[in-house]
Amino acid sequence: MITAENLHKRYGSKNAVDGISFQLQPGKVTGFLGPNGSGKSTTMRMAVGLDRPTSGSITIDGKQFSQHKAPMRTVGAVLDAGATHPGRTGKSHLKVLAATHGISASRVQHVIELTGLGEVAGKRIKGYSLGMNQRLGIAAALLGDPAVLMFDEPVNGLDPEGVRWVRSLARQMAAEGRTVFVSSHLMSEMSQTADHLIVLGRGRIIADAPIQELLNSGEQRVLVRTEQTSDLANALTARDVSISHIDAETLQVTGLDPRSIGRRALEAQVVLHELTPQLTTLEDEYMKLTGDHVEYRSGGAFEEAAQ
Partner 1 sequence: MNTTHINTATATPRTFTIDSTLSGVSFLAAARSEFAKLKALRTSWWLSIITVALGVFIAGAVAFSFQQFAADDSAMAGDALQIAIQGQAGSYFAMILLGSLGVIAITTEYSTGAIRSSLTAVPQRFLLLSAKGLALVIWTAAVTAVMVLLSHGLTSIIAEPLSLGDIFDAEIAGMYAASWVSVVLTSLLGFGLGLLLRSSAGGIVILAVIMFVLQMVLSILYGVTGNAAWVEVLMQAEYMNLVDNAVNPNAGEFSMVPALEAWQAYVGLLIWVAVPMTLGALRFSHRDA
CB of 275 to partner 1, least distance (A): 28
Question: Do β-strands 250-254 and 221-226 pair in parallel, antiparallel, or remain unpaired?
Answer: antiparallel
Residues at the contact surface with partner 1, assessed by CB under 8 A: 26-28, 45, 48-52, 65-66, 68-75, 77, 79-80, 82-89, 92-93, 95-97, 99-102, 140, 146-147, 167-168, 171, 174-178, 192, 195, 210
φ, ψ of residue 194 to 5 degrees: the values are: -90, 150
CB of 306 to Mg ion, least distance (A): 22
CB of 158 to partner 1, least distance (A): 17
CB of 156 to Mg ion, least distance (A): 9
Residues at the contact surface with Mg ion, assessed by CB under 5 A: 41
16 binds, among partner 1, ligand ADP, Mg ion, none (CB under 5 to 8 A by kind): ligand ADP
CB of 210 to partner 1, least distance (A): 8
**For partner 1, which is the closer residue by CB, 77 or 270?**
77
Task: Please check whether residue 105 is in contact with residue 99, taking contact to mean a CB–CB distance below 8 angstroms.
Answer: no
Which residues, 6+ apart, have CB-to-CB distance to 175 below 8 Å?
A: 27
Residues at the contact surface with ligand ADP, assessed by CB under 6 A: 11, 14, 16, 34, 36-42
**For partner 1, which is the closer residue by CB, 70 or 130?**
70
Quick one: which of 180, 269, 265, 267 has its CA closest to 222? 265
The H helix count followed by the E strand count for the chain is 12, 13
52 binds, among Mg ion, ligand ADP, partner 1, none (CB under 5 to 8 A by kind): partner 1
CB of 285 to ligand ADP, least distance (A): 18
39 binds, among partner 1, Mg ion, ligand ADP, none (CB under 5 to 8 A by kind): ligand ADP
34 binds, among partner 1, Mg ion, ligand ADP, none (CB under 5 to 8 A by kind): ligand ADP
Tell me how far apart the alpha carbons of residues 292 and 8 are, in angstroms, rounded to a whole number: 20
Number of Cβ within a 10 Å radius of residue 206: 19
Ordered strands of the 55-60 beta sheet: 14-24, 2-11, 55-60
Quick one: which of 23, 3, 16, 20 has its CA closest to 65? 3
Task: Please check whether residue 43 is in contact with residue 58, taking contact to mean a CB–CB distance below 8 angstroms.
Answer: yes
93 binds, among partner 1, ligand ADP, Mg ion, none (CB under 5 to 8 A by kind): partner 1
CB of 67 to partner 1, least distance (A): 8
**For partner 1, which is the closer residue by CB, 162 or 232?**
162
Tell me how far apart the alpha carbons of residues 92 and 83 are, in angstroms, rounded to a whole number: 14
**For ligand ADP, which is the closer residue by CB, 37 or 262?**
37
In DSSP notation, 55-91 reads EEEEEETTB-GGGSS-HHHHEEEE--TT-S-TTSBHH
38 binds, among partner 1, Mg ion, ligand ADP, none (CB under 5 to 8 A by kind): ligand ADP
Q: Is the four-CA dihedral 125, 131, 134, 135 of positive or negative sign?
A: negative
